[in-house]
Amino acid sequence: MYSRQSRIRRGTMQTTRLFTLPHRLARIRWEWVIVGALILGLASLALLPASRSAAQEEEKRLGMICTSNPTATFHLRTEDGSIQMTDGNTVYMWSYADVEGELLFEHPGPILCVNQGDTVTIVLENTLPVATSIVFPGQTDVRANGEPSQPQFDEGGNLVSLAQEAAPVDGRVTYQFVAGEPGTYLYHSGTQPLIQTQMGLFGAIVVRLAGFPDRVYNDPLTQFNVQQEYLLFLSDVDPLMHEAIQRGEPFDMTNFTPRYWLINGREFPDTVAPNFASWIPNQPYSSIVRIHPYDSINNPLPALVRYVSVMSEDVDFHPHGNHSRVIGRDGRLLRGPAQQDLSYEK
């Protein structure tokens, strides 16, 4: 078995190809992995299912859950709620909810899936008692209410937000941009981002290659199995900070001390529960990555894992038993000035 730790830095995006040499299996399991804006990840392996029908049924409970529509228009509403930790505690959170969806509160925010070249419209409705906004790292020419999205300052010249804000309680703002390069990206609050992102105002945007949904980038060598696509979101939580925000009290971020570390908003063992597990309704996304041995006829393409991190520090990630290849970072295929292949195993 070959395995090596890989450090995923805050504020980066990365795509990785994983090859797994499982114990007692002569064939190779393989997988592409993408690490997206503020990114990190985990690949969790499972044995082959007993039958193909069982495998198909299981896959419905696993994998990346896209929020998408033909017009690439999304209506997000800020909400407050709580998430359940495995020690029995609950933590007060903020989040983005899809107004058109079934969940009134979800953590992390919905994964917005669009195609390269789509005109993406995101309507933000704010129900929180403070102003908020959204920024879209990696996207260009973003507009807010028809004007260029840009930092906002108070009368004293102090920076108050990285983008136009939705006012407290019932404010709205509409953001629009043309989806750029294929890849995995982050969206998060641009107002007091250290606090509001930590409170839960973040989500992922997946930009697909137009006309080629089975390719990660504009390169035929990045083809993957569309039935095995995953996204893993890493975050950390300081419950004392969340308690202070819930009480409306100030919090000194120099005292920030994480006590919970989450993947897709969950702690272990809830991380290995399927999507939409009934006992954690506000944390709908599983962290299980199920990949299968390579088979030239039945399974010729690798799986794909997209990694995103909003953690407060860099993390060394170590997927056991995997041969993985990083093929992209920050929404870009790893290529040099002369288009040389800069992908690497980890």
Question: Would you list the DSSP string of 29-81?
Answer: EEEEEEE-SS--------PPPSSHHHHHHHHTTSS--EE--TT-EEEEEEEEE
CATH code reported for the domain at 66-201+240-262:
2.60.40.420
Give 254-277 pLDDT, tens digit per residue: 899 999 999 999 999 999 999 999
Nearest alpha-carbon partner for 127 in 159, 91, 81: 81
CA distances from 292 to 230, 242, 287, 298, 313 (A): 14, 40, 16, 10, 32
The pLDDT assigned to 152 comes to 92
Q: Where are the domains of the chain?
A: 6-63+220-234+285-345, 66-201+240-262
Q: Report the Cα–Cα distance between both ends of the chain, in Å, rounded.
A: 12
Phi, psi of 251 (to 5 degrees): -135, 130
Token pair, residue 180, equals 């750029």
Is the preceding omega at residue 269 within 30 degrees of 0, hence cis?
yes
Whose CA is closest to 10, among 314, 316, 271, 302? 314
DSSP codes joined into one string, 8-33: E-TT--EEEEEEE--TT--SPEEEEE
DSSP letter (8 states) at residue 322: E
Q: What is the rounded distance in angstroms from the CA atom of residue 123 to the CA atom of residue 126?
A: 10
Q: How far apart are CA 340 and CA 219, in angstroms?
A: 13
Is the Cα torsion angle 294, 297, 302, 303 positive or negative in sign? negative
Residue type, 273: A
CA 69 to chain centre: 18
A 10 A CB-CB count for 54 gives 11
Handedness of CA 63, 204, 233, 3 (dihedral sign): positive
The model carries a pTM of 0.84
Per-residue pLDDT of the chain (346 residues), as tens digits, is: 333 344 555 544 444 444 333 333 333 344 555 554 443 333 322 323 333 344 444 546 899 999 999 999 999 999 999 999 999 999 999 999 999 877 789 999 999 999 999 999 999 999 999 999 999 999 999 999 999 999 999 988 899 999 999 999 999 999 999 999 999 999 999 999 999 999 999 999 999 999 999 999 999 989 999 998 999 999 999 999 999 999 999 998 989 999 999 999 999 999 999 999 999 999 999 999 888 888 889 889 988 999 999 998 888 777 776 677 788 888 889 888 988 888 888 7
Cα four-point dihedral sign 141, 143, 147, 150: negative
